Structure formats: structure tokens, C-alpha cells
Structure 1
Amino acid sequence: MKQTILFDLDDTLVYCNKYFYLVIEQFSDSMLTWFAGYPDITADIIKNKQTEIDIAGVHVLGFKSDHFPQSFIDTYVYFSDITGRKRSPVEEDFLWKLGRSVYEHQVEPYPFMEATLNDLAEAGHQLHLYTGGELLIQRRKIDQLNLERYFGSRIYIRRHKNNDALESILLEGDFNRSSTWMIGNSIRTDVVPALTAGINAIHMKVDTEWVYNNVEIAVQPQGAFFTLHQLPDVPPTIHRYVQEQH
């Protein structure tokens, strides 16, 4: 039985969050230098406020690239206001460029990405790519790794990645839900929408997850639901499940 398999991109097929964490560390270090005279302002307090502001922006704007550097500036403004420290246009410009730099790194695939996609494609399964973000940024990653050789035109890029976005893709493509899979690292944007839509889901668990992605799963799976830790486990898991069902 051939399956229809939708893959998430960031932190499922390619590394993403680790670059954000590196930039956030640089942001925190800069803030600690500028606010060194205020001992109550610690690295954890700075990071927690930035995370709070960042996630609030995602809820409103979706995965819009400018909201991440803006969260640096908004955090900087917040601490400037509560301390009375004078704001500097030079510092704000530095933070904006620092935040934007996260989108400029070379794309790095997860281990065995190609082998996994090859195995599934050679088995006759139809592969789709469903990712959240801005068109130009996500297309750059797709083009750098030549992912169209696996997904062709079956690529969906959405600024808001949620239940409604996935449902619209499934309806437009007239997917057979019992043989359709969503594979991704985010419980919020991959797993819960998949289970809500009544398709199969594989949660690719990562070591350090962005707090935004962690939500409670309050949906009863109608089909398969697995948690895996590495891409090479995906093909045998799907094949085993399909064989058991038939």
C-alpha cells in the first residue's frame, strides 16, 4: 500500500533551532554587557522575556521573519524602560542585524536525510513538504538542498501552520486520510493538526525543543501515532504499520 507522506522541514529534515539558540546567546551576552549595572537582570530573565515576546509575535503574525529580530529590540526596550537606561540607536541597529543573521546560515540537513527520503521514494510513496515560514527564506533552504528532486511541486509553505492550514491542504489535494502521514518535530504545528485531521502522525523528537512547540496532545489518534528520534527509523516504522493493517 503506497502512502502519502508530508514532511515538515525545520528541525525535521534540516537544522533550525540550534541557530536561533546561538543567536539568542549572543543577544543575551550583549544585553548583560549593556545592563551590567543592574544585577537583578540575569541571562535567564533576559531570555525568558525574549521568548515571551517572540511567541506572542508568532501567535499574531505567524512565522514572519521580522518578528524575531523585533523581539530582540522589544526586549531591549522593555529593560531600558524598567531601568531608565538610555536607549541607543546603534545598539538597536546591532540587535536588528543580529536577529536577521539567523536566516543567513548555510542549510544543514539532519543525518541520513537523503537516505530516508530515497528509501521512501523508492518504495513508491508520494512525498510532500509542508513547512511554516516565509516563502523566500524557506525556498532558499529547499533550493540549497535541491529538495524538489523528492517533492517536485508538492511543496506547501504557510506563514500560519495550524489545524486550518493542514486541513486546507488535505481538502485541496483530496488526500486519502487513512494512508496519509504528517512527520515533524512540533507537537503544536505538526502532530496536533495531523491528529485533528484524522491522519497518521510521527513526532520526530529533538533534544532541545522551542517552548512554542510544546503543547498537550488532547486529540485521540484515529490512525497511527509514533514518536521517533532519528530519520532512518521512519521508513521501517511506516512499512511495519502498513503491513500490520493489511
Structure 2
Amino acid sequence: MEVDFSNIKVIGFDADDTLWVNETYFRETEERFADLLEGYETKNKVDQELFKKEMDNLEIYGYGIKGFMLSMIESALELSNNKIPQETITEILNLGKNMISHPVELLDGVEEVLSSLVDKYRLIVLTKGDLLDQERKLEKSGLSKYFHHVEVLSDKKESNYSNLLEHLDIPVDEFLMIGNSLKSDVLPILNIGAQAVHVPFHTTWAHELVSETELTNNHLKLNHLRDILKYLNKH
């Protein structure tokens, strides 16, 4: 598609699965969690019940590893009729702690892209999740030096973006969002009149999937983050 980024002055980057690996660790932990509960339910049933519990808890705990840990514990208690051993609860807690302490793995080309853009655009991080965890990951990543502003949002809906752009005094037509989620990083951005670039990650949380009827062709889709330089560096 034809894109015109000549008016862009501010670029927002999603963090998880756009700058660094994230969803992969959730999938691996879900596998281990299902193994811990194999004496009570099938893997498929455990996966389904855990996802339902996460959805039920989103408004209470929000996004992030800590809410995920609590949802695993609640699911384990319910699926075992409260018979899950204390030792297994401890193992579940350790699964979550291991996720939190996991080294940050930057995606290929991220530092190259940021270093190329930092002197030409105002770069900001717009992510959702647990504030402490996201701040920790950003610090571990070594990427803080590239960003003018970091915002950890409770959610990524149109109102969240609109309020933030207004707060930061960023005109909608000067803003470009780059991320891996159509639901969180692309569609709400297009709906408020800004521009978005979709860079898919190889695995997507079910909650972030969108139906075919929601898809739009009004955005650029790239196979690799590095490809954005072809569109931005010519301005």
C-alpha cells in the first residue's frame, strides 16, 4: 500500500513482542502449568480454564505476569477442587517469578532501528502491563536512552491513546504507532486518525486476536521491524 509518513514527528513503540520477546515465555509457562495439573485435567481443559480465569481477572489485576500468576493459582485450586498440594502452589509461584527474572531478549534489528530514528523523531514507548515489570524490562533492555517518554497503560483502547496524545501535546496526524498487535497497537490508533504499522510476532495471545471483519487495509504491515527504515529514512 502507499504510505505517507512525511508528517510524522513522534513514533510510539509497543514493548512486548515488538522490542523484546514476551509471549513465548507465557506459552512456555502455560505448558509447565498444564504439566503440574495433569493429574486433574487434560492439557486442553487446563489451557481453556486458565484463559477464562485470566479474562475474568483482567479488570481486577490488569495485564502482566503478576495477574497471570494469580490466575494460575486460582485455576489450580478450582480444577483440583481445592486439593492442590501446597508444594504445587509454590511451584506455580516459582513459574511466575522465573518469568519476572528472565533476561530480556531483544528482537532482531531493534537497536539498529531505534539508533537510526532517535535523532530524527521523538520516540516513545507505549505498552501495557505491570508498571514495575515493564520498567524493569526496559532497564534491563538497555533501550531507555532512545526514548523521550515511557508510558505503561492500563489498556490500549482509543480513549487511552487519545488521552495520552493530548496529555503529551502530540497532534494525531503527527503520530505513528508500531506494534505487533492488531487489536492493541493498530486498530485503535487508526480509529483516532493516527497512523499505525503492524509487525506481527510469531505467536499471539488469544485475547489479542481480531476477527476478519475487524481487519482494515489502512495500515502498513511489515515482516520485520527493520523494514520500517525504508519508509521513514527517506523523509
| TM-score (normalised: structure 2) | 0.88
Q: Report what 1:195 is aligned to.
A: 190
Q: Report what 2:92 is aligned to.
A: 95
1:131 matched to 2:127: yes
Structure 1 segment 15-54 matched on structure 2, within 5 A: 15-32=21-38, 34-35=39-40, 41-54=41-54
Unaligned 5+ segments in structure 1 are 36-40
The offset of 1:211, in angstroms, is 0.6
1:113 matched to 2:147: no
Distance 2:161 2:170 in 1: 11
Instruction: State percent identity of aligned pairs.
Output: 26
The offset of 1:183, in angstroms, is 0.7
Distance 2:200 2:162 in 1: 23
The offset of 1:71, in angstroms, is 1.4
Distance 1:197 1:61 in 2: 27
Matched to 2:188, the amino acid is P
Q: Report what 2:230 is aligned to.
A: 236
Q: Of 135, 147, 150, which residue of structure 2 is paired with 1:151?
A: 147
Residues 195, 219 of structure 1: 8 Å contact kept: no
Distance 1:202 1:159 in 2: 21
Q: Of 225, 234, 240, which residue of structure 1 is paired with 2:219?
A: 225
Distance 2:29 2:47 in 1: 11
Distance 1:73 1:145 in 2: 29
Residues 36, 88 of structure 2: 8 Å contact kept: no
Residues 113, 226 of structure 2: 8 Å contact kept: yes
Residues 62, 130 of structure 2: 8 Å contact kept: no
- CA-based RMSD: 2.1
For residues 64 and 205 of structure 1, do their structure 2 counterparts lie closer, same or farther at Cα, with a shift above 3 Å needed? closer
| Residue correspondences, number | 228
Distance 1:3 1:228 in 2: 20
The offset of 1:118, in angstroms, is 1.5
Q: Which structure: larger Rg?
A: 1
| TM-score (normalised: structure 1) | 0.84
Q: Of 9, 18, 36, which residue of structure 2 is paired with 1:3?
A: 9
The offset of 1:220, in angstroms, is 6.5
Unaligned 5+ segments in structure 2 are 1-5
Distance 1:226 1:58 in 2: 30
Q: Tell me, what secondary structure is at the counterpart of 1:66? A: helix
Q: Report what 2:3 is aligned to.
A: none
- Specify which structure has the bigger relative contact order, considering alpha-carbon pairs within 8 angstroms and separated by 6 or more residues: 2
